[in-house]
Amino acid sequence: MKAVLLDAASLGDEIDLTPIRRLVDAFDVHSLTSPDQVQERLAGATVALTNKMVIDAETLAGLPDLELICVLATGTNNIDMAAAERRGIVVRNVEAYGTASVAQHTLMLMLALAARLPLYQEAVERGAWARSDIFCLLDHRTLQLAGKHLVIVGSGVLGTAVAKLGEAFSMRVTFAARPGNEANDARPALTTLLPAADVISLHCPLTEQTKGLIGTAALASMKADALLINCARGGIVDEMAALEALRGGRLGGLAVDTLPVEPPREGHALIDALAEPLNLIVTPHNAWITPEARQRVVELTADNLRNWLRG
């Protein structure tokens, strides 16, 4: 049985692929694959492994030997699921591999925004501390997390892990009702929580119900010093509206780990705005990348392959 990994570079060079390798007869590992190489490289393979490479209906039609697709991530939007089902190809993904990693990253962003770290770092770099009349700088009002209200959208394993960290800092944590299902959810709707929220942290999938969830109206209802963190998916926040609110003093801080298009080869307004004195952080979709989380992706993928082999 032959397996092919299309984009090993997305896991990093130091990750051990042995748990997968020992389950197959032949294992072709490609660091990167261009879209026009996918079908050629998967020819004759029984198992395809991919993180972000697209495997569409046209590609599947030319792969009569393919029986299993292992997605090395949670999202399966890069696979034509309907075409795979029609052809009897099983698709398996992995979940909860980066819970601790993403929760840790989220807390880091929260702490940095609360301390106004981007603003104070900029002040130090331009010599404001060296010129200060007193021993410290007091230019930007910081936020003590203890006693503050953390609102989380998304109550899965990630949101739950972030909630525990927030509680460890003595924050009051509330989960918002699932967007689009407020009528059947006992939890309060996000719209009712936003005016009293000190920190909003997003951990929900990008769906029709969550696209643009934090837009102009939502931002207008929030406290002027509220912090907004998106470690979910680009597009859940209207980035331009959030940037405008941040520049206008109507948002206390903004941190994102995701953008609508990744990598942002054409640039993005938030990246350009990093040059401005704003309480703004943009990280390159790396909340999940601790070595432990990446190795866990391999282990879970091996479990998926093993279970499939067992029928």
Nearest to 200 by CA among 180, 214, 212, 187: 214
pLDDT tens digit sequence for 249-264? 999 999 999 999 999 9
Q: Confirm whether 203 is a catalytic residue.
A: no
Q: Using the predicted structure, report yes or no on whether residue 82 has a pLDDT greater than 90.
A: yes
Q: Choose, from 116, 233, 268, 294, the residue flagged as catalytic.
A: 233
Least confident of 26-30, 169-173, 180-184, 278-282: 180-184
Nearest to 99 by CA among 59, 159, 163, 53: 159
Domain boundaries, the chain: 2-95+291-309, 99-282
Average pLDDT, the chain: 97
Q: Choose, from 149, 172, 285, 299, the residue flagged as catalytic.
A: 285
pLDDT tens digit sequence for 1-10? 999 999 999 9
pLDDT number for residue 267 = 97
Q: Confirm whether 247 is a catalytic residue.
A: no
Q: Confirm whether 92 is a catalytic residue.
A: no
Query: What is the average per-residue pLDDT within 65-91?
Result: 96
Unique residue bearing structure tokens 């997968």? 20
pLDDT number for residue 75 = 85
pLDDT number for residue 311 = 86
Say if residues 139 and 155 touch (Cβ distance below 8 Å).
no
Query: What is the average per-residue pLDDT within 210-226?
Result: 97
Q: Using the predicted structure, report yes or no on whether residue 42 has a pLDDT greater than 90.
A: yes
2-95+291-309 and 99-282: identical CATH topology:
yes
pLDDT number for residue 242 = 98
Say if residues 198 and 143 touch (Cβ distance below 8 Å).
yes
pTM of the model: 0.92
User: Rounded to whole angstroms, how far apart are CA atoms 89 and 70?
Assistant: 11
User: Rounded to whole angstroms, how far apart are CA atoms 63 and 65?
Assistant: 6
Give the CATH number of domain 2-95+291-309: 3.40.50.720
CATH superfamily entry for domain 99-282: NAD(P)-binding Rossmann-like Domain (3.40.50.720)
Q: Choose, from 58, 262, 276, 292, the residue flagged as catalytic.
A: 262
pLDDT tens digit sequence for 154-198? 999 999 999 999 999 999 999 999 999 999 999 999 999 999 999
